[in-house]
Amino acid sequence: MKIQLDHVQRLNLHALLGAQRGDVATIRALWAVQDRLALTPEEENAIELKRAFAGRQEHAIWNPERSIPPKEFDFTEPEVARIKAALEAWHSYGAAADRYWLEPIIQMLFPSNQSQPIPPLIVTVPQTD
């Protein structure tokens, strides 16, 4: 599945996948997806990416006035399944704060059927004479 992601989506997905738990095979598979999503040193410099640690957690900080072009990724079905599972399992999204990067990904990976018209409700009432 081909998915185009900007640097904000890539950084957030990278962090989300890094927060997952699993057995050794799962962790290695997640690392492989993270390696593909990771920004190159040139991309990091372009957005002035810095890493900060709070406790044992790494946080990515960048200049919001800088950007890089989106990049297309061709994920295999197992990779898509892992990304979907991570997105579905995360319970700390902020409805407003995460919408700008998360909504396009959700639309690509979880297409809704809401765009199809809802058939009218037809109620038949028995006639009494």
Q: For every one of its 129 residues, what pLDDT tens digit does the chain have, with 9 covering 90 and above?
A: 999 999 999 999 999 999 899 999 999 999 999 999 999 999 999 999 999 888 888 888 999 999 999 999 999 999 999 999 999 988 888 888 899 899 999 999 998 865 555 555 555 556 665
What is the pLDDT of the chain when averaged over all its residues? 87
Return the pLDDT at 120: 54
Distance, C-alpha 32 to centroid of its chain: 16
**pLDDT tens digits for range 41-67:** 999 999 999 998 888 888 889 999 999
pTM: 0.80
